[in-house]
Amino acid sequence: MTSDPVLSIRAVSKTFGSRKALNAVSLDVARGEMIALIGPSGSGKSTLLRSIDGLQTIDEGEGAISAFGGPVQAKGRVSDQVRKARIRIGFIAQQFNLVGRLSLFSNVALGSLGRIPLVRGLLGAWPRETREAAMAALHRVGISDYAGQRANTLSGGQQQRGAIARALVQKAKIILADEPVASLDPVSARKVMEILRDLNASDGLTVIVTLHQVDYALRYCDRVVALKAGNKVYDGPADALDRDKLIEIYGPEFEEVFWEGAPQ
Ligand SMILES: Nc1ncnc2c1ncn2[C@@H]1O[C@H](COP(=O)(O)OP(=O)(O)OP(=O)(O)O)[C@@H](O)[C@H]1O
């Protein structure tokens, strides 16, 4: 890990009606970090991730988010340069977001849009470089055997790996994964987390992943950021997140957020 900041989040708030989903949250992320974003349901995790990708505007009047040194948004306005940042950010959602009637291969090749003309993508006339990149990405996540299969016939775990492969074809340097394992069985979930971890460790990708399973956060991530009711209540090493802190974040029922056993 180097200390180059790839993301800077400054005093970001987001209000929906009378509810403050984020309350003056600040966060710096260095290149090559793997961060778990945890917190109870409704604590603001998705809102923060979506704000980082410019998919969600933050409150007017304060706050700024930049990526790779360029602005994403500030004071309630998305920057007109947001595309420059977004092309290097891969967003992985809980519900896979593949185009069901297209093949896995086509879905992964779609990651190159933004670099090649849309019409070529729509016609499936992928340049050789894209075809090679798509197959390499499918190999990388271990599902190249399914390249020709329609996305809506793949298992959840395969679809999620496909979404990661698409981010690789996009040449993303940051992966924002919003509850990527929430709909998966434990074996598929672990595989997806291992792939994210490997992309982080071997390729130096910066990963921020929201998780409901705190044991996964502790096992796969070095740094944990916890939100509670829109406030950042923990930001530090995963191994310093002790029982008392977990009770503070989740309340006395905190053991329920562990899939495979809570620390004693
Ligand atoms: N588009 C929206 N309109 C109104 N309220 C919203 C909207 N998006 C989020 N919220 C509210 O903002 C708060 C934070 O939501 P968010 O989805 O960021 O939480 P979360 O921590 O990701 O939750 P979960 O773990 O359940 O996915 C919640 O109270 C939610 O109801």
Secondary structure (H, E, C), the chain = CCCCEEEEEEEEEEEECCEEEEEEEEEEEECCCEEEEECCCCCCHHHHHHHHCCCCCCCCCCCEEEECCEEEEECCEECCCHHHHHCCEEEECCCCCCCCCCEHHHHHHHHHECCECHHHHHCCCCCHHHHHHHHHHHHHCCCHHHCCCEHHHCCHHHHHHHHHHHHHHCCCCEEEEECCCCCCCHHHHHHHHHHHHHHHHHHCCEEEEECCCHHHHHHHCCEEEEEECCEEEEEEEHHHCCHHHHHHHHCCCHHHHCCCCCCC
Per-domain residue ranges for the chain? 1-88+173-250, 96-172
pLDDT mean over 34-42: 96
Task: Ligand 1: list residues with CB < 6 Å.
Answer: 16, 19, 21, 39, 41-47
Which residue puts its alpha carbon closest to atom 31 of ligand 1? Answer: 42
Which residue puts its alpha carbon closest to atom 17 of ligand 1? Answer: 46
| pLDDT exceeds cutoff 60 at 264 | no
Which atom in ligand 1 lies closest to the alpha carbon of residue 56?
1
| pLDDT exceeds cutoff 90 at 254 | no
Of the listed ranges 37-51, 54-68, 95-109, 117-131, the least confidently predicted one is 117-131
> pLDDT: is 122 or 138 the higher one?
138
CATH level 3 topology of 1-88+173-250: Rossmann fold (3.40.50)
**Highest-confidence range of 74-83, 91-100, 251-260, by mean pLDDT?**
74-83
Would you place residue 1 in the very low, low, confident or very high pLDDT band (cuts 50, 70, 90)?
very low
Chain segment 3-31, per-residue pLDDT in tens: 568 999 999 999 999 999 999 999 999 99
The Å distance, Cα 212 to ligand 1 centre, comes to 14
Chain segment 173-231, per-residue pLDDT in tens: 999 999 999 989 999 999 999 999 999 999 999 999 999 989 999 999 999 999 999 99
pLDDT score for 201:
96
What's the whole-number average pLDDT of the chain? 91
pLDDT mean over 156-166: 95
Which residue puts its alpha carbon closest to atom 2 of ligand 1? Answer: 16
| pLDDT exceeds cutoff 70 at 261 | no
The rounded distance, in Å, linking the Cα atoms of 260 and 130 is 40
pLDDT score for 181:
93
ipTM for the complex shown: 0.96
pLDDT mean over 143-156: 96
Which residue puts its alpha carbon closest to atom 16 of ligand 1? Answer: 44
Best residue for ligand 1 mutational test, from 20, 43, 209, 257 (most atoms within 8 Å of Cβ): 43
The Å distance, Cα 163 to ligand 1 centre, comes to 23
